[in-house]
Structure 1
Amino acid sequence: MKVAFYTLGCKVNQYETQAIAEGFKKAGYEIVDFDKQADIYVINTCTVTNISDRKSRQAIKRAKKISPDSIVVVMGCYPQVYPQEVQKIDGVDIVVGTRNREKILEYVTEYLRKKKKIVDVNNEYKRDIFEELKVSGFSERTRAFIKIEEGCEQFCSYCIIPYARGSVVSRSLDSILEEVERLASNGYKEFVITGINISAYGKDLDYKITLLDVVEEISKIEKVKRIRLSSLEPIVMKEDFIRRLVNIEKLCHHLHLSLQSGSDKILRLMNRHYTTEEYRKIVNTVRNYWEDVGFTTDIIVGFPGESDEDFDITVKFVQEIGFSRIHVFRFSPKKGTKAYDMPDQVSSQEKDKRSEILKSIAKQLSLNFHKRFEGKILDVLVEESSSIEGYIEGYSGNYIRTLVPKKDSIKLNEIYKVKVTQVFDEYVIGKIII
């Protein structure tokens, strides 16, 4: 039988889909592209925004249009938060939340036998154990994702994720290292440490261990060449943490440090637990150690109560910090969050306006960052053929998208020294010197 997978959302979802796909493959299923005819479609959903929910529904309709008699499995954050809504969607046969994903293959077998809808959604916030979903490779990916924890306890006023993923549960260090060893033996050189809130790793464990302990242990594995961290919370970046962090030689000089707003008033309304002054201090401290560090971040525009003055303060702050890349999001009121019912909602037109302004500034900041490396040498992991004709591309340690002319002698999944010859806001072009 043929099975197809579709993943929305974050790196954690991509990791989980890969693990489930491997289970189907081991059971003898043939994995096909989502736009091809299949007997089973597994849709791993996201519910961060209302747009994410809509995309999930569209994927369900697409699957049924391609293969009307297929079995459709909807899993992940969307059914976890809105199980009744998902169950009512035409064509959905199996509904699984963010627990018991390892049972999906079993549920498909049961459905084939009984032809009866299956729903498995546990709404308890507290989680006791980390659900192991191990992987041995990533289709069409050169970098390996390593999921080290599940859950978030931040409860930012705009965010539904704590309700979708539950409390923090950490993966054992032995399990993490075993997976890294296996993937490194399979040829992976760069490892991206991911989770719902990796900054909280270890807080639920009886023995004392932190994110830094994990990264330091991974760095001891000889075949691991680079380690990259996914999003970090500023509250974890204390002085001792930074000192240990910057001494990990294999760690990429790139930090995604979540900001969300440059206005302290809005940060308080968002229930973010830091100030812009604290954020500024973190950035400056890291730059004292890593001159070439790339800081990327997320900004939400149009949060309830964000005045023109608040937005102007945010603009000035992001320009001062000099991010290498900014992901700009329009505030999307999410039912079930505190911000959904907040007063002083910002109009859609104003959100659009602020989004366009900030995206324009973000482009200029990216260009400014790239210009710093013109004529200099970057270590680049070559990953894939570029959408730009005649080039292949990858990312530098500090997360600059780098293109080099395509040649037969250049191998994918190899790290090369590249001299930057041209710079643009979205990427740089260079030539391999080693």
Structure 2
Amino acid sequence: MKKTAAFLTLGCKVNSYETEAIRGMFEAAGYEIVDFKELADVYVVNTCTVTNIADRKSRQMLHQARKRNPEAIIAAVGCYVQAKEEELLNDSSVDLVIGNNRKSEIVRLVEKYISDKNSYNMVVDIDEEKEYEDLHIISTMERTRAFIKIQDGCNRFCSYCIIPYVRGRVRSRDEEDILAEINKLAGMGYKEFVLTGIHISSYGTDGKIKKEDNDDMPLAKLIKAISVIPGVERIRLGSLEPRIITEAFVKEMAGVKQFCPHFHLSLQSGSDSVLMRMNRKYTAEEYEEKVRLIRKYFDIPAFTTDVIVGFPGETEEEFKETLDFVQRIGFSHIHVFKYSKREGTIAAKMPNQIPEAIKQQRSNELISVAKKMSMDYKALFLGRIEKILFEEEEEIDGVKYQIGHNERYVKFALKSDENLINRIVHVKTDILLTDDLLLCTMQQ
């Protein structure tokens, strides 16, 4: 009988990519993959440590796996491991402790554990790691869109963020390796590729990417190289820092027909004084200038972002500056986060921590403003002809719809019994079906 393995991912899209790669390694080694809620011989929890809540969730999932099968091998991998090595080494629920930049060794370690029953600790000094870890995916759980990891690590050290301490410095993946992976996935039918990483704006800045004469835009060069791969219909970017948005970069992207004009530009605050305390290294005016630059080259581009409310010392006036700023930009979507203390960061030690009640009130107010902006942005597409990549079927009030997104990541619904999954179809937008969905009709 085949040995079984189950996987759980906590946290970001980078973790999701890495779990897919690990799953592929276990499949190649002859394991049968089962759901995490089922009995398995091996449980792998790819952990997260971005907040204290994420830490708690990581512990809970490891303990849950041990409870489900006391005889199983439990492997804790990833960011929480990197941050809490000693704690996990003393946790009886955990057999293998594997940090970042060592995930590619997991199958070997599991097999070694099976043979000698010794626990293993594979947590390295991540600050000393210089090379990108060799991980690849052979397929993904999604049917139309593939997330592609292009770099790891971050050098920015925002005052609220633990990630540079657990992911290490910027390490870029070889362009040839990225292109080979996308080429293979495109050949399998994937049409959209989302470039992701811990800080993709830093791709190539570590000096590991071969540069040609006058090539100071390695990310733009990579995107152009991806665009000529047969079968690639869309290229989308993960979160970007404002500094990468130069006229030269935006102009290059506007010339790539597969590039999706959906910009997730990390903001965090619209107040310069808060941005300074966050160590964000740009001002609200500089951010707004980047938005103006993008709008110069793209028709109704989508801007999405993250905003933290209740950062230490945030006054009512500073919060009002953020409210005014986001409305001036006109985001299509905002991820709103209430500031959460993260042990080990500078912000956790700052004075004037904001009470939870005030953070909740500011969060509610910003969410309300963000919802209106999102509705206003969707209204811009009424009556337009759009290209939709359909991704799933969904039944709403007893009616079957095909669901997908346009290039700007606006969600559409088409009433149809025909399975359109993984097809790109021209549609005309009719009305807003729900807060999240635009109803459309197919165009011939």
Structure 1 length normalisation: TM-score? 0.97
Name the amino acid aligned to 1:99.
Answer: N
- Helix, strand or coil at the partner of 1:412: coil
Task: Tell me the distance in 2 between the aligned counterparts of 1:413 and 1:88.
Answer: 47
Q: Which moved more, 1:259-268 or 1:415-424?
A: 415-424
Task: Tell me the distance in 2 between the aligned counterparts of 1:380 and 1:331.
Answer: 36
Aligned residue for 1:85?
87
Provide Cα deviations, 1:385-413, integer angstroms capped at 9, x if missing partner. Answer: 236352231211001011222412x3211
Runs of 5+ unmatched residues, structure 2: none
Residue 419 (1) aligns with residue 428 (2): yes
The answer (yes or no) to whether the contact 2:101–2:132 under 8 Å persists in 1 is no
Task: Tell me the distance in 1 between the aligned counterparts of 2:222 and 2:240.
Answer: 15
Partner residue of 1:392 out of 390, 402, 405: 402
Provide Cα deviations, 1:235-292, integer angstroms capped at 9, x if missing partner. Answer: 1112222222222211001010000000000000000011111111111111122122
Deviation (angstroms), 1:340 = 0.8
Aligned residue for 1:251?
259
Aligned residue for 2:194?
192
Deviation (angstroms), 1:126 = 3.1
* Counterparts of residues 145-224 of structure 1 (less than 5 Å): 145-205=147-207, 207-208=210-211, 210-224=218-232
Deviation (angstroms), 1:205 = 2.0
The answer (yes or no) to whether the contact 2:34–2:40 under 8 Å persists in 1 is yes
* Counterparts of residues 33-52 of structure 1 (less than 5 Å): 33-52=35-54
- Helix, strand or coil at the partner of 1:386: strand
The answer (yes or no) to whether the contact 1:79–1:86 under 8 Å persists in 2 is yes
The answer (yes or no) to whether the contact 1:364–1:425 under 8 Å persists in 2 is no
Name the amino acid aligned to 1:427.
Answer: L
Deviation (angstroms), 1:427 = 2.3
Name the amino acid aligned to 1:430.
Answer: C
The answer (yes or no) to whether the contact 1:363–1:426 under 8 Å persists in 2 is no
The answer (yes or no) to whether the contact 2:126–2:167 under 8 Å persists in 1 is no
Deviation (angstroms), 1:86 = 2.4
Partner residue of 2:243 out of 222, 228, 235: 235
Task: Tell me the distance in 2 between the aligned counterparts of 1:28 and 1:235.
Answer: 45
Residue 311 (1) aligns with residue 313 (2): no
The answer (yes or no) to whether the contact 1:378–1:420 under 8 Å persists in 2 is yes
Deviation (angstroms), 1:82 = 1.4
Aligned residue for 2:364?
356
Q: Which moved more, 1:370-379 or 1:268-277?
A: 370-379
The answer (yes or no) to whether the contact 1:170–1:202 under 8 Å persists in 2 is yes
Task: Tell me the distance in 1 between the aligned counterparts of 2:80 and 2:94.
Answer: 13
Residue 320 (1) aligns with residue 328 (2): yes
- Helix, strand or coil at the partner of 1:125: helix
Task: Tell me the distance in 1 between the aligned counterparts of 2:324 and 2:353.
Answer: 23
Large movers: runs of 4+ above 3 Å: none
Task: Tell me the distance in 1 between the aligned counterparts of 2:57 and 2:378.
Answer: 33
Name the amino acid aligned to 2:186.
Answer: A
Runs of 5+ unmatched residues, structure 1: none
Aligned length: 433
- Helix, strand or coil at the partner of 2:240: coil
- Helix, strand or coil at the partner of 2:201: helix
Deviation (angstroms), 1:143 = 0.5
* Counterparts of residues 35-74 of structure 1 (less than 5 Å): 35-74=37-76
Of all paired residues, the percent bearing the same amino acid is 46
Partner residue of 2:417 out of 399, 407, 418: 407
* Counterparts of residues 244-393 of structure 1 (less than 5 Å): 244-386=252-394, 388=396, 389=398, 390-393=400-403
Deviation (angstroms), 1:141 = 4.0
Aligned residue for 1:10?
12
Task: Tell me the distance in 1 between the aligned counterparts of 2:336 and 2:348.
Answer: 19
Provide Cα deviations, 1:178-219, integer angstroms capped at 9, x if missing partner. Answer: 111111101111000111111001111253361111001101
- Helix, strand or coil at the partner of 1:228: strand
Name the amino acid aligned to 1:328.
Answer: V
Task: Tell me the distance in 1 between the aligned counterparts of 2:266 and 2:437.
Answer: 22
Provide Cα deviations, 1:62-85, integer angstroms capped at 9, x if missing partner. Answer: 212222221111101111111112
The answer (yes or no) to whether the contact 2:250–2:297 under 8 Å persists in 1 is no
Task: Tell me the distance in 2 between the aligned counterparts of 1:59 and 1:155.
Answer: 28
The answer (yes or no) to whether the contact 1:78–1:86 under 8 Å persists in 2 is no
Name the amino acid aligned to 2:107.
Answer: L
The answer (yes or no) to whether the contact 1:246–1:286 under 8 Å persists in 2 is no
The answer (yes or no) to whether the contact 1:370–1:425 under 8 Å persists in 2 is no
Deviation (angstroms), 1:419 = 1.6
Provide Cα deviations, 1:275-321, integer angstroms capped at 9, x if missing partner. Answer: 11111111111112212211000000000011011111101111111
Structure 2 length normalisation: TM-score? 0.95
Q: Which moved more, 1:411-420 or 1:227-236?
A: 411-420
The answer (yes or no) to whether the contact 1:262–1:318 under 8 Å persists in 2 is yes
- Helix, strand or coil at the partner of 1:188: coil
Residue 387 to residue 259, structure 1, CA distance change in 2 (3 Å) = farther
* Counterparts of residues 84-163 of structure 1 (less than 5 Å): 84-163=86-165
Provide Cα deviations, 1:327-346, integer angstroms capped at 9, x if missing partner. Answer: 00111111111101011111
Task: Tell me the distance in 2 between the aligned counterparts of 1:68 and 1:142.
Answer: 37
Deviation (angstroms), 1:369 = 0.4
The answer (yes or no) to whether the contact 2:389–2:404 under 8 Å persists in 1 is yes
